[in-house]
Amino acid sequence: MELKNYSLVVNKGVLSRLLQWVNLRPEEGERTWIMFAFYTTVSIGLRWAEDSTVALFLDQYGAGPLPWMYIASAVTGAGLVFVYSWLQKIFPLRWVVVAIAPCMVVPLIFLVLLREGLHLSYIAVILVFILRLWVDGLYVVNDLNTSIIANQIFNIREIKRTYPLVSSGLLVADVISGFSLPWILQFVKLEKVILIACVLIVLGSAILAYLSNKYRAAFPDAPQRQIPHEQASRYRRIQAPLRRYTWQLFAFVGLLQVIGLLVDFQYLRELKSNLGDRDLASFLGIFGGIVGLCELATQWFVSSRLIERIGVFFTAALLPISVGFVVPAAIALLNLFPALHSYGIFWGLVGLKFCDELLRYTFVVSSGPVLYQPIPERLRSHMQALSGGTAEAIATGGSGLLILATLFVCNRIVPTALQEWVFVGETVLAAATCLRVVWVLRSRYVDLLVLSAERGELSASTVGLRVFKQGVVKALGEKGSTADKHSCIELLAQIDSHGAAEVLAPLLLKLPPELQRQSLEVMFMGGANPAYISDVRRLIEQPPEKIDPEVLALALRYVWLAEENPNLSQLEEYLQARHHSLIRATAAALILRQGTPIQKVAATKTLQRMLTHQQERERINGVKALRETVYLQALRIHIPNLLQDESLRVRCAVLEMIAATRLEDYYSALIAALYYKSTRSTAMRALAKLENEALDMLLQLATNTYKPEIVRMYAWRTIAQIPTLEAIEALWLHLEKSWGATRYQILRSLLKVQKQPETSNRVDRFHQTRVESLIEQELKFLGEIYAAYIDLQKPPTLDNHSSSQRAVVVCELLQRSLLELEIDGRERLLLLLKLLYSPEKMQAAAFNLRSPSGTNIARGLEILEHTVTLPVKSLLLNILDKRSHQEKLHYLVEAELVEYQPKPVSERLKRMLSLDNFLSDWCLACCFHLAQISRIRLTSHEILLALRHPTGFVREAAIAYLNAVSHRVLLELLPKLQQDTHPLVATQVKELMRKYAPRRPSASNKDATVMRN
């Protein structure tokens, strides 16, 4: 579908178009260009220094000692990385990143000057080796420095767009230095080129100093060792998964370095055997320039878009796939033709180097910093230095040893013609291992993001049950706070309610009374089990002064319910007045359940005295006892009075008793109790116990729009607590038919159902299709919101200046209501996603997306990108991101979910009123106020719906509209509106009737109306 609104594609100027071409946003432009300038300047200097030192090294040593160079470079690189990491613990990070490069340039200048000043040939040869080594170290530090800076000033989503452009500074440097180096060599010697390179590196550091000062807030002020206590505690919580993730990153970076060095060795050895000194330097420069042009085009116009489309890990996997499998297969194919055999290896290795350079310095470099974003910010630069820089150094040394060992073996065993293929085979093996590491790394990436957001949840699936029970026994047996032990028992009940008695029964005598009571309640959750009667009976046999009355009552109930043939005569002794009221009530209830007629009469009299007793505690315990009785018999007559009892606790106890005994005559009292905050929670528990018996009553209440919204909300929550398939299906059915606040409450209710341990966290395929349809519906409605918001930016111009000003004010109010609708729509989208995917991941994503911080929003979007698999995933990410309404509407139109054509305010208002079921009450009222001021004609159907609306201020807005456009219709309706229960509407009607009292319409007048369809 074409975008019909050409105003959305406005002329944004040259700079905006340029940012769009390179996939940047305006707020990212300045930081990106400064970083690009810094990296390009330093990289030009490093490239000149590298090519010059490589030429000097190969001229002095040839390609043979290259493996030793790799080993020495590894040692130097590792040492520099540890120094870099150590400096962060002493100085603030901003000082370290700015000063490190100039400090390393000083020894480089000294080495060059020393070589020119000495006339001893053997010392000059050693200095060439050290020069080459130090330039490699500069490369390691500069790449690490750039990556750390990018992670500080860009968030996880910005890096995907900006770092490809920043890292393209190296490619620009390849082009400039590659084509300029042969020209410079015509005028100066290689040693002078290195000095010029040092000047450029210092200039780049000056640009970095400006950047770090301008964005000082992005860098921590304190050295890394000064970590706040709460952050250190947070690190300890994620230490284990963080360590695993870091090692996997270490392996990934190291294997990439191994692949690169194997390719580089084969490539340089082939060049040395075919080219001379100056020709080799020129070839390196021209080759670097050509590769740089290709890399530059890829990095500017392809990398960021491809990373956003297929993800970080798939783009990172392109290098091992190409260099390890595709190109070696092409080399083998070329060698099958005799005419190409002499050039097959040479040009094959050049092609291998070309692919390695192209993919390494585009997709891999762009993806690298993103992989460190899940690591907490305070630890990120330290981890990045150790895992990134150290991995490269160790891999460089390991590659050198591998090459030396391979050469040693090949010279003695492998024929000369096949020696090249040994290195190709090693490259393939390293690439295959790298692919495996990428796959494992991808599975850990989102998990660490979620843990970093500190939104994980504990469930039975994540706890070893046997080990956990052993921990509970140990925790309850040792000294410690009662609160901690209380939480321990509560967690045991959540994880294994049926097996909790096995743990708790032997510990009853050792626990304090409050924990004994809680333990017995948890044991009842699994049912009274005869296996634990002896443990509970030991509680009863204690002296009366040593046992808490509540504990004794629970123990009595447990023993007499668990025994097959209980001796009820022993319970009669507990009916005596000297015993605590709770014990008397428990004994009476047990006798009423299983006793003889004479025993039941005595028990009934005991309960009657308790139910009419003046003391509140007596009445409460008497009502509690009624829950256990099978037949209330003569005790029913006391229920009406107890429902009106002055004590809240008595009334709540009666509600629980009604549900426990299934007294249908009093179900209406449970519904009425939902209206009051004091009895609401008790009523919800009671109704949930009734299960399907209460379902119809609750649905009638929840779907009645004239009932208070808070009562309807708790009705939906109560339905969610009913553990039946019918209740869950009712929620799904009404989810599809509802909208707005009602849909939001049903979604919250369904998510509470999913959090129950016995419920699967994933919906089935049928419900998944339903959710996907609802997500598309929400996106379409968001499109209507954006279209209305854009059209309302041009308020209607009226003849009266005062009316025009009022129209502007009302338009602004309407736009604010639309923004509130957008927020509600985004929340519903996140709730719908929670139904489809891991609640832990979605909770972490939602928590970050609600944050005002751009970094947190980016983290939330990153979690969604690696979790959501819907066809509309990219559209969802754009809608949930911080983008303008024009951009979001453009994406919705491109996805063919909505159509947009600019409309005047009157047409747009009518379009919105046609969606009245989807609008909030405040938005609907604003629509009528705007229609009133602008004299927009509405249909009679729209007006009548507003006059019958359950919200008072919507009815008030509709009456005000009628007062402005149709006095006669209003006069006919005013007598019917006098009975309105809302004080705002009642006052408005009285004033209008007083205003129009002298004017009485003639009976012969026709019923003129302005309300036309």
**232-265 exposure pattern, b = at least 16 Cβ within 10 A, e = fewer:** eebeeebeebbeebbebbbbbbbbbbbbbbbbbb
- Determine the number of helices (DSSP H) and then strands (DSSP E) in the chain: 49, 0
Largest CA distance in the chain: 125
Q: Give the CB-side neighbour count of residue 813, counting CA atoms within 13 A.
A: 16
Task: Please check whether residue 286 is in contact with residue 182, taking contact to mean a CB–CB distance below 8 angstroms.
Answer: yes
Q: For residue 712, what pLDDT is reported?
A: 93
Task: State the pLDDT at residue 390.
Answer: 73
Measured in degrees and rounded to the nearest 5, phi and psi for residue 466 equal -65, -45
Question: Is the Cβ–Cβ distance between 949 and 921 less than 8 Å?
Answer: yes
Integer Cα distance of 195 and 704 in angstroms: 83
Q: How far is CA 291 from CA 157, 175, 753, 910, in A?
A: 28, 8, 57, 59
Both structure tokens of 717: 């929550």
Alpha carbon distances (Å) from 449 to 74, 156, 459: 31, 11, 19
Residue among 695, 619, 701, 615 nearest 657 (CA): 619
Helices within 648-764 (DSSP H only): 648-661, 667-673, 677-690, 695-702, 709-721, 725-737, 740-754
| Angle made by CA atoms 339, 340, 342, in degrees to the nearest 5 | 100
CA dist 990 to 15, 294, 953, Å? 61, 79, 16
Helix ranges restricted to H, 722-764: 725-737, 740-754
The pLDDT of residue 8: 38
Q: Do 379 and 452 contact (CB within 8 A), yes or no? A: no
The answer to whether 373 and 156 have CB atoms below 8 angstroms apart is yes
Count of alpha carbons within 13 angstroms of residue 412, beta-carbon side: 6
Regions of the chain where pLDDT drops below 50: 1-12, 120, 226-234, 454-464, 757-761, 999-1013
**Residues 433-461: pLDDT tens digits?**
888 888 888 777 777 777 665 444 444 44
pLDDT at 817: 93
The DSSP-derived string for 245-299 is HHHHHHHHHHHHHHHHHHHHHHHHHHHHHH--HHHHHHHHHHHHHHHHHHHHHHI
Cα(830)–Cα(748) distance, integer angstroms: 11
Which pLDDT value is given to residue 609? 86
Assess contact for 710 and 680: CB atoms under 8 A: no
- How many whole angstroms separate alpha carbon 1009 and alpha carbon 968? 8
Q: What's the pLDDT tens digit per position in 623-663?
A: 887 777 766 666 778 888 888 888 899 899 889 888 888 88
Report the alpha-carbon distance of residue 148 to residue 171 in Å, rounded: 19
pLDDT (0 to 100) of residue 337: 57
In whole angstroms, how far apart are CA 157 and each of 150, 370, 438? 12, 8, 20
In this structure, what token pair is assigned to residue 256? 């990439």
| E runs forming strands in 47-183 | none
